[in-house]
Amino acid sequence: MASMPQFKLEAEGVAILWPEGRICLYPYRYLRLQCGCAACVEEMTGRRVLVAASVPEDIVAADFLIVGRYAVQFLWSDGHSTGIYPFDNLLKLAEKDVAVKCGA
Sketch the domain layout of the chain as residue ranges: 6-103
CATH of 6-103, one of 1.20.58.100, 3.30.830.10, 3.30.2020.30, 3.60.15.10: 3.30.2020.30
CA distances from 86 to 5, 53, 56, 73 (A): 11, 25, 23, 9
Flag whether pLDDT at 1 surpasses 60. no
Q: What is the pLDDT of residue 3?
A: 85
**What digits encode the pLDDT tens for the residues 32-87?**
999 999 999 999 999 999 999 999 999 999 999 999 999 999 999 999 999 999 99
Over residues 81-94, the mean pLDDT reads: 96
Q: What is the pLDDT of residue 19?
A: 94
In which band, very low, low, confident or very high, does the pLDDT at 2 lie, cut at 50, 70 and 90? Answer: low
